[in-house]
């Protein structure tokens, strides 16, 4: 179970709609209109998971001609095949198709298309842990997008913030999140705004600025709850509980955690319920409510997860549970839980190697 936003960086999806009726269509919007039926067919294939069918479309439409519209469609086709592989986790194959799309769009001076393709390429390299290449493509995309003021800028800023956060450059991470937020507020994209707030608060938490993180989490919590953004609400509430406990605001942490517990129980999320109950046990212990701590800890540990379903957070939570059992004087359970944590930790380490 993980609580970081944007685990899989979203790719920019093309709508190709005119921003205003009185503005002339851009070159790629004209091409989109020209090839609307073919592109719709391509999208059908991508939803069906049939990437090979794209090659038949290329041949059928004779896209190897030098017409700009056809070149647009060829680039778009390669990008769509790459996108299909991206969401399958085939990053090396994705890079090959995206590179072809970028080469074609650059050669034909389709700048807006190039900027979007480069942003998507940056996302693929990010997921491949090649951060230097990711940053290179993001910056190239940024140069074009800021000049043209394209609609992809908010997503680009959000992704760049996540990249800088990942490599430990927290100042740049904050800078790009602050640049991202006016866009999403203006467009009233509540989900993007909530995610940006969550990421910004995480940065302040890493800097041990708990007061700032607390304030930002509360704003994100209010937005997510008021707008029914369930995933964002759960993520932010969990993180808010953590920041409150770090500030020793245990009564308030308990209140938010009880609210979160009702949510995860209602949605029957086993992994979340287990973790939130364990958090409640720790909060009760901090409040010197030892019976409550034992109750929630036993309830948490009674929820069993299959070893193969446990991610790094679930494995680490076993160590937390073992320590809490020891503090409560339940030494046999502490020993058993620690041993389970050790075995799973060793196993996961070998699998990574």
At residue 49, does pLDDT exceed 80? Answer: no
**The predicted structure's pLDDT at residue 67:** 47
CATH of domain 270-353: 1.25.40
269-302 CB burial, b ≥16 within 10 A, e <16: eebbbbbbbbbbbbbbbeeebeebbbebbeebbe
Residues with Cβ within 8 Å of residue 184, at least 6 apart in sequence? 154, 192, 193, 196
Maximum average pLDDT range among 1-10, 176-185, 279-288: 279-288
Q: What angle do CA 162, 275, 89 make, to 5 degrees?
A: 40
C-beta neighbour count of 37 within 10 angstroms: 8
pLDDT digits (tens, 9 = 90+) for 61-107: 444 443 445 677 778 778 877 887 888 888 998 999 899 899 988 98
Sorted by where each begins, the domain ranges of the chain are 270-353
User: With contact defined as beta carbons under 8 Å apart, do 322 and 338 qualify?
Assistant: yes
- The per-residue DSSP string of 217-251 comes to HHHHHHHHHHTT-HHHHHHHHHHHHHHHHHTT-HH
At residue 6, does pLDDT exceed 50? Answer: no
State the pTM of this model.
Answer: 0.68
**The predicted structure's pLDDT at residue 342:** 85
């Amino acid at each position: 179970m993980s609580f970081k936003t944007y685990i899989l960086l979203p790719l920019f999806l093309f709508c190709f709609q005119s921003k205003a009726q009185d503005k002339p269509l851009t070159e790629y919007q004209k091409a989109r209109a020209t090839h609307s039926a073919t592109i719709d067919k391509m999208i059908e294939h991508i939803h069906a998971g049939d990437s090979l069918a794209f090659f038949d479309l290329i041949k059928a439409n004779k896209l190897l001609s030098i017409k700009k519209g056809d070149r647009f469609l060829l680039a778009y086709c390669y990008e769509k095949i790459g996108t299909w592989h991206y969401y399958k986790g085939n990053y090396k194959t994705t890079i090959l198709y995206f590179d072809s799309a970028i080469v074609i769009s650059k050669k034909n001076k389709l700048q807006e298309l190039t900027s979007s393709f480069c942003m998507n390429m940056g996302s693929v390299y990010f997921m491949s842990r090649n951060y230097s290449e990711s940053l290179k493509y993001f910056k190239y995309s940024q140069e074009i997008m800021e000049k043209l003021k394209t609609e992809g800028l908010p997503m680009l800023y959000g992704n760049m913030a996540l990249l800088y956060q990942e490599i430990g450059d927290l100042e740049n991470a904050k800078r790009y999140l602050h640049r991202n937020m006016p866009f999403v507020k203006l467009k009233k994209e509540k989900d993007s705004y909530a995610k940006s707030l969550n990421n910004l608060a995480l940065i302040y938490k890493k800097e041990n600025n708990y007061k700032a993180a607390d304030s930002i989490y509360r704003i994100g919590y209010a937005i997510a709850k008021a707008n029914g953004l369930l995933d964002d609400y759960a993520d932010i509430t969990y993180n808010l509980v953590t920041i409150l406990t770090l500030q020793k605001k245990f009564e308030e942490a308990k209140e938010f955690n009880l609210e979160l517990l009702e949510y995860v129980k209602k949605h029957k999320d086993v992994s979340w319920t287990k973790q939130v109950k364990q958090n409640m046990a720790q909060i009760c212990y901090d409040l010197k409510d030892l019976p409550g701590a034992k109750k929630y800890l036993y309830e948490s540990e009674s929820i069993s997860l299959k070893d193969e379903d446990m991610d790094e957070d679930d494995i680490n939570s076993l160590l937390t549970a073992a320590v809490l059992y020891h503090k409560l004087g339940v030494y046999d359970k502490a020993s058993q839980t620690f041993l389970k944590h050790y075995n799973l930790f060793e196993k996961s380490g070998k699998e990574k190697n």
